[in-house]
Amino acid sequence: MAIEDIRSERLKKLELLKKHGIDPYPSQSNRTHENQEFKENFSSYLESQEKVTLAGRIMSWRGQGGIAFFDLYDGTERAQAVIKKDVIGEESFDLLQEVISVSDFLEVTGVPMVTKRGENSLLGHGWRMLSKSLNQVPDQWFGIKDEEERYRKRYLDMLLNQDTAELVRKRSLFLNSIRQFMLQKGFLEAETPILETKTGGAEAQPFVTHHNALDMEVYLRISPELWLKKLILAGFPKVFEIGRIFRNEGISHEHAQDYTHFEFYQAYLDGKEGVPMIIELYRHIARETFGTLKFSTRQFQEIDLEKDWDQYDFNQLIQENYGFDPRQVDLKTVKKHLDEQGIEYDNSLDIGRGVDALWKLIRKQIAGPAILTGIPVYLEPLAKKSKEDDRVVDRFQVLLGGTEMGKAFNELNDPLDQKERFDRQQALRDAGDDEAQMADYQYVEAMEYGMPPSFGFGISERLFSFMAGVPIREGQLFPLLRPKKEE
């Protein structure tokens, strides 16, 4: 039957319900038990013949003369309800068969029974319509095969596809495992602004919108970093945030434009001391969410978080692969190697972007788990310079499966150094680089009041998609899509 015909038929059933004085969309359910609880404790309910009211979406139903069987799903479990004509009466039974459809939400009150086939069920003494559906959920065995339609109607995908439903549950476990870990470590959870007059904390192109009440342009944040550091300045020594980030950039297997991000900062802690806690965090997340420390990817056979993590130096890897020292290289040399690798670039290219593009080719070959150090200053405008070599910063990057899976820093707390770096970033923006950081001199002013030595770390939901073995868009509940053209 065509979709239009199904909807037309259900509209007729809707009117029939109203004609009989039945509210097809009541505001309250009389359910007494969740389906899962009913099934787990069925024996005791059967013995006591306790009156029970179950409810749920009709996933399927079949009639056999004076008896009807309903498969009800309430989000916890499926339960079978059996309704007989000689139990509820001919008039009520006939009306039920006239108005009911697959996908409706039905409430059934009755007592436990075991069918002739031995299935634990609820024998209905009465029924109520909780919500009359006008469209039918696709057959669970076929579901939605078109990928874009599956994302567009993700609610149906979650309902019909147990793998998708399990992914939703694991995503919740993932985020809560981080929160649980941080709270147990004595960190304060914060919620910082999403609308900003300047973006900071990362190099990315922001989304721009207009604030009507203040009549000014504002940006959706690309990072909570500067806000969280202001909390460190304000006297809160251990802070973290789990929240949304927005970056107006490309879509890929690993990249989304809006996604959930986690970041923490701890005062009076050196990064080398903080790295063991990060490794502990990753292992905690893996155990709590997936029950394992071993993960497989298409590129690498197996990655084991339990083993000792490898250590790499950025400059050493660049020298081994390209023959130049990234701490003291000119743009001409960088362009030469980009050309050799077939990497395209435009006139706005600077040394930092060029070296980073070359580095990513190396990174793809590293399975991990590993910690990367020795990143040049020009790649990290907010990080503190290393005591051993002021050409690099105290940054510690987590590598997993050939990609970046988290970054940690000894945070820059010298306001004069910070101003100089902001000046250089602003010069890049003025020259046309939309991803260079905006100079935030109010943040510099805040630093001038004094900022303690601090350690910071951040990871995005890319870690979840990696552990789950899915693209980042698949790991999101409702990924962004172009609006569907109206027919």
pLDDT in tens, 272-303: 888 999 999 999 999 999 999 999 887 777 89
| 343 domain-assigned | no
Q: How confident is the model at residue 236 (pLDDT cuts 50, 70, 90)?
A: very high
Contact 111, 20 (CB under 8 A): no
Q: Are strands 216-220 and 78-84 parallel, antiparallel or unpaired?
A: unpaired
Q: At residue 15, what is the residue type?
A: E
pLDDT at 119: 95
Q: How confident is the model at residue 431 (pLDDT cuts 50, 70, 90)?
A: confident
pLDDT in tens, 397-414: 999 999 899 999 888 899
| Domain termination site, one of 65, 96, 131 | 131
| 294 domain-assigned | yes
| 149 domain-assigned | no
The SS3 assignment for 347 reads coil
| Dihedral angle over CA of 52, 56, 62, 65, nearest 10 | 40
Same-domain check for residues 277 and 160: yes
Same-domain check for residues 49 and 98: yes
Q: How confident is the model at residue 378 (pLDDT cuts 50, 70, 90)?
A: confident
Question: 311: exposed, middle or buried (C-beta count within 10 Å: 0-12, 13-18, 19+)?
Answer: exposed
Q: Which of 155, 71, 62 is nearest to 54 (CA)?
A: 71
pLDDT in tens, 173-186: 999 999 999 999 99
Same-domain check for residues 201 and 89: no
| 160 domain-assigned | yes
| 451 domain-assigned | yes
For the ranges 129-133, 199-203, 344-348, the lowest mean pLDDT is seen at 199-203
CATH number of the domain to which 59 belongs = 2.40.50.140
What DSSP letter does each residue of 136-193 carry, written as one string? PPPPTTT---SHHHHHHTHHHHHHH-HHHHHHHHHHHHHHHHHHHHHHHTTPEE----
| 233 domain-assigned | yes
The tally of domains found in the chain comes to 2
| Domain termination site, one of 131, 165, 197 | 131
CATH number of the domain to which 201 belongs = 3.30.930.10
Same-domain check for residues 203 and 73: no
Same-domain check for residues 423 and 298: yes
Same-domain check for residues 180 and 300: yes
Domain extent, residue 205, equals 156-309+368-475
Same-domain check for residues 275 and 413: yes
d(CA 154, CA 149): 8
pLDDT at 203: 75
| 327 domain-assigned | no
Same-domain check for residues 92 and 165: no
Contact 437, 203 (CB under 8 A): yes
369: preceding bond cis by omega (within 30 degrees): yes
Kindly report the average pLDDT of the chain as a whole number: 91
d(CA 372, CA 313): 6
196, β-bridge pairs:
219
Same-domain check for residues 108 and 251: no
Same-domain check for residues 116 and 234: no
% of residues, the chain, pLDDT over 70: 98
d(CA 231, CA 235): 7
Same-domain check for residues 261 and 168: yes
d(CA 24, CA 9): 15
pLDDT at 142: 54
> Which residues lie below 8 Å from residue 352, measured CB to CB, with a gap of 6+?
376, 378, 379
Contact 465, 472 (CB under 8 A): yes
| Domain termination site, one of 131, 166, 201 | 131
% of residues, the chain, pLDDT over 90: 68
Mean pLDDT on 365-392: 87
Predicted TM-score of the model (pTM): 0.86
Same-domain check for residues 108 and 186: no
| 335 domain-assigned | no
